[in-house]
Amino acid sequence: MKWDTEGREKMGRGSRYLDFLDILLTARDPDREGLTDDEIRAEVDTFLFEGHDTTASGISWSLYCLAKHPGHQDRVREEVDIVLTGKDDEELTWQDVSKLKYLAMCVKEAMRLYPPVPIVSRRTTRDFDLMGHRLPAGATLNINTWCLHHNRAVWGEDFMEYKPDMFSSENMKKMDAYAFIPFSAGPRNCIGQNFALNEEKVVIARILHRYKVELVPDHHVAPVLELVTRAVNGIKVKFIPRG
Ligand code: HEM
């Protein structure tokens, strides 16, 4: 169904762009019907879950990995310092963010080891064969991203290790399109993935510019796969101001 919007740029006092809620409240289908309150609620829930908890998980596990691997952290900080040197503030432009290539590799490798969304599900709408297995219509299929991302055949014997080089442009060219799917794949994949990657890069770059991150000794971090990947007793890292 194709929706249009009757929202105007002039809303309330002064002009401004339509925000997400304006769009939901003013959307109309071809019969001029708007969304019901429940439908608006469902859309807002989807965006809050997909847009907040996921990036919070991604940023937390990335910081954990960088705290655990100070060598990679130093390399990211050198890259960030080059981009921010000579600037009056810590604002990162789109151009700056695209220069943070090693940070992008580190963020992706953290999403491989700790995919923020560990499992996605689909319900079949018709019978079909999957590699010789008959799947009836109405069956629920779980696609286990966690297992895919820890597949020895794809990532090697040391698949549990944090190896950002896996995501160098050279290695990415050789990678199967479905080996790394933190944002799912196919027509219903994540619509916020570029935004999410950039958000993670900006937050982590600004933290590493100001602080050194270290693991909290004796705090055991164990992942638990819920709707998003969390840690049983939380992730604790120390933020030490740079001298
Ligand atoms: C690291 C951050 C993120 C991860 C790992 C992630 C992952 C995913 C995954 C795996 C799906 C598919 C879910 C399914 O099919 O069951 C999805 C869908 C979606 N994501 Fe994200 N997401 C992230 C950030 C975001 C952000 C920042 C937004 C919005 C600003 C967003 C909006 C959405 C929406 C609206 C969908 C549903 C798309 C559809 O059904 O057509 N996501 N995301």
Show me where the domains of the chain are located: 59-241
Would you state the torsion angle of the CA atoms of residues 136, 142, 143, 147, taken in this order, to the nearest 10 degrees?
Answer: -130
pLDDT tier at 9, thresholds 50, 70, 90: very low
Residue 79 CA to its chain's centroid (Å): 21
Give pLDDT, residue 16.
Answer: 65
**Exposed e or buried b per residue across 205-230, where buried means at least 16 C-beta atoms within 10 angstroms of its C-beta:** bebbeebbbebeeeeebebeeeebbb
pLDDT tier at 181, thresholds 50, 70, 90: very high
Ligand 1: distance of its center to the CA of 143 in Å? 15
CA distance linking residue 53 with residue 229, whole number of Å? 9
CA distance linking residue 218 with residue 220, whole number of Å? 6
pLDDT tier at 15, thresholds 50, 70, 90: low
Ligand 1: distance of its center to the CA of 227 in Å? 12
CA distance linking residue 100 with residue 182, whole number of Å? 20
Ligand 1: distance of its center to the CA of 191 in Å? 6
CA distance linking residue 83 with residue 97, whole number of Å? 9
pLDDT tier at 47, thresholds 50, 70, 90: confident
| Cβ pair 13, 191 in contact under 8 A | no
CATH architecture of 59-241: Orthogonal Bundle (1.10)
Output the average pLDDT for the chain. Answer: 91
| Cβ pair 90, 209 in contact under 8 A | yes
Give pLDDT, residue 8.
Answer: 42
Token output for 5: 């919007």
pLDDT tier at 205, thresholds 50, 70, 90: very high
Around ligand 1, the residues with Cβ closer than 6 Å are 46-47, 50-51, 54-55, 58, 116-117, 120, 182-184, 188, 190-192, 195-196
Residue with tokens 């399109």: 177
Q: Which one of 6-10, 15-19, 43-47 scores highest in mean pLDDT? A: 43-47
pLDDT tier at 90, thresholds 50, 70, 90: confident
